[in-house]
Amino acid sequence: MTKNIQAEFDVGAFLATARYERTAVRLTGAQIFFSQGDPADCVYFLQEGRVKISAISAAGKKATIRLVSAGEFFGEKAIGPEPGMRVTTATAMTACDALRVARPEFLRLMQEEPSFSNSFSSFLLACNLRVQADLVDQLFNRVERRLARILLLMAEYSHPEDGDPLIPQISQEALANMIGSSRSRVNTFMNRFRKLGFIEYNSHIRVHKSLLNVFLRD
């Protein structure tokens, strides 16, 4: 999501070298950066790895909100006018390296570094557009297309010349939460995609460009 942003301003390089207070955080898979209900007092920048942002309702229903890739921010609720408590949980899906920036320091950076402020604003806009696209996807696309779309997004398809990327291990239940379906239906379509040669599916998922055919055949 931040790749286009960094074409003009390298956010990762800036945060790694600028003079400001930050904490380097390293977690292994399944460890938690923050939990729902914690104070929203800092923003994270993910340098390496993959993070899952999820939430749980008062009735106990779980939902995966989004996946964070290297080069993206998470925990951005901390910069709101009244950040309050976290409404989501951030969990490392793989080994992760991140920078933790406290709210006052992050706000100071935004005030003093216009290029950084512009880049972060572009990131927030991209997140908002992604939420809108997800809503349209949930409302109008059938489960098979929603699953294909989330797999392609997780594989970060953007360049036709790229090879077939691997997706870090993710459960069918998590995929079902992300597309608003059931684990059994996800299992059905994952097996279908594999039989059609769209994906390779063992401990990790390898997404082939042919998965785009799910969209092109309608």
Look at residue 36 and tell me whether its pLDDT is greater than 70: yes
Residue 155, amino acid: A
Please tell me the distance from the alpha carbon of residue 126 to that of residue 177, in angstroms, as a whole number. Answer: 22
Q: What is the pLDDT of residue 218?
A: 55
Closest-CA residue to 18 (of 101, 97, 79): 101
Tokens of 76: 């951005």
Q: What is the pLDDT of residue 9?
A: 87
Q: Is residue 158 very low, low, confident or very high in pLDDT (cuts 50, 70, 90)?
A: very low
Domains of the chain: 5-137 (2.60.120.10), 141-216 (1.10.10.10)
Q: Which helix (H) or strand (E) holds 195?
A: helix 183-195
First to last CA, the chain: 27
Look at residue 4 and tell me whether its pLDDT is greater than 50: no
pLDDT in tens, 77-120: 999 999 999 999 999 999 999 999 999 999 999 999 999 999 99
pTM for the structure as a whole: 0.79
pLDDT in tens, 116-128: 999 999 999 998 8
CA dist 12 to 84, 97, 133, Å?
27, 12, 26
Residue 31, amino acid: Q
Residue 59: CB atoms within 10 Å: 5
